[in-house]
Amino acid sequence: MKDMLMMKDIRKTFKQGTSDIHALKNVNFTVKQGEFISIIGPSGSGKSTFLTISGGLQQPTSGDIRINDISFSHLSEKERAKLRFKEIGFILQASNLIPFLTIKEQFHLVDKVNKNKKTDQQIEELLTSLDISHLKDKYPKDLSGGERQRVAIGRALYNDPHLILADEPTASLDTEHAYEVVKLLVKEAHEKNKATVMVTHDHRMIKWSDRVFEMKDGELIEVKDF
């Protein structure tokens, strides 16, 4: 399987007064097509910094990041934004759905922003694959937390990205809905060959992972037994 995300010797240092804060320390990390990987660790360990840098939302202090063999390092901000739209689907702990748009309209808005020309049938097929087609004319307020996250997953998959980055996608869900969302992400990774990285503090959510890493004080360490 092809490497979809490669991070080589990534360091990120922030200034705090006269001190240097080393958020990431020499991180090396690779995710292949069809692989579901979890990143665990306590608050403040560097997980969120890791995810924003791996998705090109923040630049590392040093090191190289490649998405589908394209290096972020030599791109302008405009080129990085274009690469993100094309290659990466982001899922956040808050589904961030627009309250006054129906579920189907949420996808039409993505089309407008990204200048896509997808049909209602393509939207219907995606919603059906996520078992939420019956919700297409409802508003976010009418959906459960798990249903809203399914819509957020659908939105992340809508442009058929090669890489999915999920930042605490189960944080606001009860256990049943949390398991539902994680199993859906694993299914999408394995069946549609999506390289998927989930950052979580909840160790219960990692049992379906292909590999697990722990972030400790800016260092990424693979967990062998989970």
**Domain count for the chain:** 1
- For residue 1, being part of any structural domain is answered with no
- For residue 4, being part of any structural domain is answered with no
- For residue 15, being part of any structural domain is answered with no
Q: How confident is the model at residue 164 (pLDDT cuts 50, 70, 90)?
A: very high
Q: Scanning the structure block, which residue is given the tokens 């993100």?
A: 84
Q: What is the pLDDT of residue 109?
A: 83
- For residue 138, being part of any structural domain is answered with yes
- For residue 99, being part of any structural domain is answered with yes
- For residue 86, being part of any structural domain is answered with yes
pLDDT of 44 strictly over 80: no
- Are the C-beta atoms of residues 103 and 134 closer than 8 Å to each other? no
Q: What is the pLDDT of residue 28?
A: 96
CATH number for position 213: 3.40.50.300
Q: Print the domain residue range for 174.
A: 33-61+75-223
Query: What pLDDT, in 10s, does the model give residues 193-225?
Result: 999 999 998 899 999 999 999 998 889 999 988
- For residue 104, being part of any structural domain is answered with yes
Burial (CB count within 10 angstroms: exposed 0-12, middle 13-18, buried 19+), residue 17: exposed
Q: What is the pLDDT of residue 181?
A: 85
User: Whole-angstrom Cα distance, residue 220 to residue 179?
Assistant: 25
pLDDT of 117 strictly over 70: no
Whole-model pTM over 0.75: yes
Cα dist from 146 to 32, 143, 174, whole Å:
27, 8, 9
> Which of 86-90, 92-96, 140-144 comes out lowest in average pLDDT?
92-96
- For residue 144, being part of any structural domain is answered with yes
Ranges of beta strands (E only) in the chain are: 3-16, 19-32, 36-40, 62-67, 70-71, 88-92, 163-167, 195-199, 211-216, 219-223
- Are the C-beta atoms of residues 50 and 199 closer than 8 Å to each other? yes
pLDDT of 115 strictly over 80: no
